[in-house]
Amino acid sequence: MVKIEDFKLSCELTGHKLDVRAVAEGKGFIVSGSRDKTAKVWSATGNGYEDTATLKNHTNYVGAVLVVEANGWVCTGSNDATICVFQYPGPPEPIGVLKGHTSTVCALAAGHNATTLISGSWDKTAKIWTNAPGSMTNLTLVGHEAAVWAVACLSNGKYITGSADKNIFVWNEKGEKLVVLKGHKDCVRGLCALPKGGFLSCSNDATIRYWNDTYECVKEFHGHSNYIYSIARSDAWGDEIFISGGEDSTIRMWHLKEGALGEALQMPAQSVWALAGLRNGDIVSGTSDATVRVFTASADRAASEELQAAYRVAVEVRQSESAKQLGGMNVNDLPGPESLLSEGRDGQTRIVRHPNGKILCYQWTNGKWECVGDVMGASDGDTGKQLYEGREYDYVFSVNLSDDAPNLKLPYNRGEDPWFVAQRFIHKHNLPQVYLEQVANFIVKNSDNAPVASAIGNSYYDPFTGGSRYVPGSSAEASQFRPDAVNTDPFTGGSSYTTQTPNVSLATNAGKPANGAGNLDPFTGGSSYTTGSSEVKKSNTHFPHHHYVMLENADLSKVLVKLKELNANIDDPSGSIRMSDDTLDDIVRYAAEVMSSPEQNSVCLTALKFLYTNWPTEKLFPIMDITRLIVREARACHEVFSDAAFFSTFLQHVNHLPANQLMAARCFANMLAHQAGRNVVVENIRAIVDRLNMIRGGSANLQIALASFYLNLSMTQLDKLTSVDFCRVLAGTIGELLSWLTDNEATYRAYQALGNLLSIKGAGMGAVAETLKANGALTDKILFNISSEQPNFVKLNECASYLYELLA
């Protein structure tokens, strides 16, 4: 009896640019479909195959292929919701395009005669096309509550469909539902009819089920450790042997009675998307590394020993890669070569994982991505070093600042100065300066052999301030923030972290030095600048500010979990509102890849907009969180918000709910980072500001989001002045916002926004300053920030000083 260990590599077929999602066999050829929007025909030549045709009619990725040999048809199903029927051999244009589905066509199977097809779609339906390809006549099979991922035609004349709703339905040729089969605990991804009756099903629950001809589940197969995407058989193996492949990088072989036939055929790719058993007994696979592979049990068709050795090395690289970390990130999470299809900006670098396991660094130079070398030293836990952004470190700490933000990476090498590293970390992540001491002490506490700086003979030159470093225990210590005042150290496990600066005593004389210098600067040891100071003031680096703020940190794994939880609990008696898990997976994946994707995913954007119009407002905050990530990309932003009706719908959800307020403010801030978003915001600015003005309090995160929005909005006037009246009204709005802001970082950004407006030259711009001067509460707040220095937040004091000068 054949077993999986008998199969060796026969050949590798390269030519696709992205994942191969589907494979099928024709007479003398193989067909593959890919995320690169094409299908390829590979014709048999000797013991191998060659690329003889590329079918390019689809506008989105190809997720299903089918060969109908009786007619010489190659059929392809796509994310563009159509099915193309090609004549092969024949012209590259389809002889028919079947339209009727409203979402991705993800499954195809032959019907009971040469002109009948069955298709499955994300639109929750299957269709039996009764007179393809010249007619759109079809029977629509309605009843599933989620995407129909798999379809098949049984030997007894019945049709079966498998869905993300975990169920399998049996239908007659009239489109009437006969039986509902339950048992799988997750999405049904594949179906395979058996020649003697009955069928097989595979699922995201990592199991395979064998259903007999009376639709009873008579056996369950276990072995895969992750999702199973595909299941297939070949007459050459007999009636009772089949194969399966999935997300665990393996192909496995099974017998209906004996179970597993051998261990597993390891693949050098993460996902085995598709399998087919060929009539000669070979196996063909389509995988996430854009490669079609053929495996054979015949020594005559096996690849050369050299190629097989190279394949074994690729598998070993893949296996070791799965355990490696790169800067605290699994290397499998790094973008693939497809990320190089999108343009970069001058000097930008990108680390890319290639299918052969290599990790290379690219830089955008002269309008293209140039490879600058290998990224070496990805840690597998044995070297004692960890790689972060291309450099090795003794430590890469994972710092969790808040529940709604992802962990930040804090790299550190033994021998480095903890305070210097802490300052670098704060600048990089735009954190409040108040955390300098906590970060430094965290490093000291959690790294062995880390030097603790002495307060005596402090000759260290601080590159950030130009003076000597502040060291706890020095004469300046009395003026420093103490963790026990309000919020204890978020890095060492004290009370919970908020981005709002702790309430520190601001107006006592006890903390002043005896010489009356006042406001001792913890970095330089001298007094900070005040309006009465005789010191020479630093140059103004706070405004005008020209770099748009992007609020893009997100833990999408948590967002996805929350989405699925809300989706599962949605009140949906009609079954028309709840989304499939796969659709949610695709939406979240698209949000993560939107900046590197060569094109927008219209299917995901349509699904996103559908949720806004159908889900209750209290469940929309994770959708709004995803939206603010998607709108970072100009084309996607335009496609989502160019529809005035949808923009009005979105705005309605900016209501009394704090989570919705936060996500909307972040979304509007991110939209201003590119011209397409700026056009939408400016066109709807009155409605947006009216909504945001309803907010009169909130968390530090909300305050920062609102201030960031107005800061970005002020920058649009630096680029091109709209009108004096616009700037005057905007200044007044920011002044009102400042009346209730309590977070230092939010206050600083709002001051920067006002500084931007006051820096604009032109006739009539004096009206902006007059508007702000008339706001007595604002002037008092600015003076307060000048005279009452916030420990470790010098930039706020400096910015307030420069702002006051423009108003004086």
Domain boundaries defined on the chain? 4-322, 329-374, 401-444, 548-686, 696-807
- Could you tell me the two tokens for 73? 């048809």
Contact 708, 749 (CB under 8 A): yes
Contact 164, 146 (CB under 8 A): yes
- Percent of the chain that is helix, strand, coil (3-state, to 5): 30, 25, 45
Task: Kindly report the average pLDDT of the chain as a whole number.
Answer: 81
Q: Is the distance from CB of 614 to CB of 606 less than 8 angstroms?
A: no
* Confidence band of 391 (pLDDT split at 50, 70, 90): low
pLDDT at residue 574 in the model: 76
Helices 744-759 and 794-807, interaxial angle, to 10°?
A: 30
pLDDT at 285: 96
Return the minimum-mean-pLDDT range out of 4-13, 432-441, 488-497, 606-615. Answer: 488-497
pLDDT above 60: residue 627:
yes
Query: What residue has token string 């820096």?
Result: 759
Radius of gyration of the chain, Cα coordinates, nearest whole angstrom: 31
Instruction: Assess whether pLDDT exceeds 60 at residue 164.
Output: yes
User: Which amino acid belongs to residue 441?
Assistant: N
Report phi then psi at 766, rounded to 5: -60, -20
pLDDT value at 515 more than 60: no
Nearest to 169 by CA among 136, 146, 194, 195: 146
Supply 616's token pair.
């209750």
DSSP structural state of residue 657: -
Average pLDDT for 343-362:
73
Strand order in the sheet with 359-365: 349-353, 359-365, 368-374
Q: Residues 69-124: pLDDT tens digits?
A: 999 999 999 989 999 999 999 888 999 999 999 999 999 999 988 889 999 999 99
443-480 pLDDT tens trace: 887 776 444 433 333 333 333 333 443 333 333 333 33
Place of tokens 């220095």: 789
| Per-residue pLDDT at 209 | 96
**pLDDT level of residue 516 (50, 70, 90 thresholds):** very low
DSSP label of 356:
T
- Under the banding of pLDDT at 50, 70 and 90, the label for residue 806 is confident
Contact 117, 108 (CB under 8 A): yes
Please state, for a pLDDT cut of 70, what percent of the chain lies above it: 81
Distance CA(599)–CA(155), nearest Å, equals 42
Give the CA angle between residues 690, 693, 696 to the nearest 5°: 155
Q: What angle do CA 678, 682, 685 make, to 5 degrees?
A: 130
DSSP E strands, 324-445: 325-326, 329-330, 349-353, 359-365, 368-374, 386-388, 391-393, 395-399, 408-412
Q: Is 457 exposed, middle or buried (0-12, 13-18, 19+ CB in 10 A)?
A: exposed
Tokens standing for 189? 């991804």
C-alpha 64, offset from chain centre? 25
Contact between 543 and 799 (Cβ < 8 Å): yes
Report the relative pairing of strands 96-99 and 105-110 from DSSP bridges: unpaired
Asked whether 522 and 793 are in contact (CB, 8 A), the reply is no
CATH class of segment(s) 401-444? alpha beta
Helices H / strands E in the chain, number of each:
18, 38
CA-closest candidate to residue 456, choices 468, 442, 465, 445? 468
Tokens of 173: 């040729």
Mean pLDDT of 775-799: 79
pLDDT at 358 over 80: no
Give the whole-number percent of the chain exceeding pLDDT 90. Answer: 40
Mean pLDDT, range 625-640, rounded to an integer: 90
DSSP letters spanning 300-341: GGPPPHHHHHHHHHHHHHHHHHTT-EETTEEGGGS--GGGGG
The pLDDT of residue 557 is 87
Residue-level pLDDT at 498:
35
699, 660 Cβ separation under 8 angstroms: no
Strand, helix or coil at 759?
A: helix
pLDDT of residue 333: 57
For residue 461, the model assigns a pLDDT of 35
Q: Enter the DSSP assignment of 435.
A: G
Contact 283, 269 (CB under 8 A): no
pLDDT, residue 808, reads: 72
- Residue 566, both tokens: 């809300």
Full DSSP string of 252-294: EEEETTTEE-SS-EE-SSS-EEEEEE-TTS-EEEEETTSEEEE
- Phi/psi of residue 152, nearest 5 degrees: -160, 160
pLDDT score, position 791: 60
**Residue 468 has what DSSP assignment?**
B
> How many whole angstroms separate alpha carbon 198 and alpha carbon 212?
4
Which two structure tokens, joined as six digits, stand for 429?
A: 């992540």
Q: What are phi and psi of 729, to 5 degrees?
A: -65, -40
Give CA separation, 129 vs 62, 85, 94, 115, 161, in Å: 19, 12, 16, 8, 15
Per-residue pLDDT of 179-235, as tens digits, reads 999 999 989 999 999 999 999 999 988 999 999 999 999 999 999 988 899 999 999
Concatenating the DSSP letter of every residue in 762-795 gives STTTHHHHHHHHT-HHHHHHHHHHHHSPPTT-HH
Average pLDDT of 477-485? 34
Q: What is the per-residue burial (b if ≥16 Cβ within 10 Å, else e) of 318-341?
A: beebeebbbbbbebeebbbbbbbe
- Whether cis (ω within 30° of 0) applies to the bond prior to 133 is yes
Residue 652 has pLDDT above 80, yes or no: yes
CA atoms of 362 and 375, how far apart (whole Å):
10
Spatial CB neighbours of 2, under 8 Å, sequence gap ≥ 6: 237, 241, 253, 261, 281, 297
Per-residue pLDDT reduced to its tens digit, 660-713: 999 999 999 999 999 999 999 988 999 999 999 999 888 989 999 999 999 999
Q: Is the pLDDT of residue 779 over 80?
A: yes
Whether the CB-CB separation of 108 and 99 falls below 8 Å is answered with: no
* CB neighbour list of residue 77: distance below 8 Å, 6 or more residues apart: 33, 62, 63, 64, 65, 66, 83, 104, 105, 106, 107, 108, 119
Whether the CB-CB separation of 762 and 721 falls below 8 Å is answered with: yes
Tokens describing residue 627: 């939206």
What is the amino acid identity at position 469? R
Q: For 529-574, write each residue's pLDDT tens digit.
A: 333 333 344 678 888 888 899 998 888 888 888 888 888 888 877 7
- For the stretch 39-82, pLDDT in tens is 999 999 988 999 999 999 998 889 999 999 999 999 999 989 99
Is residue 790 scored above 60 in pLDDT? yes
Distance CA 235, CA 241 (A): 9
| Interatomic CA distance for residues 632 and 710, integer angstroms | 17
Instruction: Please tell me the predicted confidence (pLDDT) of residue 437.
Output: 76
Q: Give dist(CA 220, CA 216) in Å, integer.
A: 11
More confidently predicted of 760 and 518: 760
Q: What is the pLDDT of residue 575?
A: 73
Chain centre distance of CA 10 = 36
> Among 216-225, 311-320, 424-433, 748-757, whose mean pLDDT is lowest?
424-433
Strands 228-232 and 241-246 turn out to be antiparallel
pLDDT of residue 764: 83
In 10 A of CB 367, how many CB atoms?
Answer: 8
Residues 6 or more apart whose Cβ sits within 8 Å of residue 698: 658, 661, 662
CA separation for the pair 287, 293 (Å, rounded):
8
Exposed/middle/buried for residue 557 (C-beta within 10 Å: 0-12, 13-18, 19+)? exposed
> How does 474-487 read in b/e, with b if 16+ C-beta sit within 10 Å?
bebeebbbebeeeb
- Residue 375: predicted pLDDT: 60
Q: Specify the residue for token string 């390809």.
A: 133
State pLDDT tens for residues 5-20: 999 999 999 999 888 9
Q: pLDDT digits over 284-331, tens only?
A: 999 988 999 999 999 999 999 999 999 999 898 877 766 655 544 556
Distance in angstroms (rounded) separating the CA atoms of residues 397 and 412: 8
pTM > 0.85: yes or no: no
Query: Which structure tokens are listed for 314?
Result: 């690729």
Residue 722 has pLDDT above 80, yes or no: no
Instruction: Record the tokens describing residue 55, joined without a space.
Output: 């079918």
Nearest to 356 by CA among 324, 318, 309, 390: 318
- Region 548-686: CATH code: 1.25.10.10
| CATH fold group of domain 4-322 | Methylamine Dehydrogenase; Chain H (2.130.10)
Examine the pLDDT at 493 and tell me if it is beyond 90. Answer: no
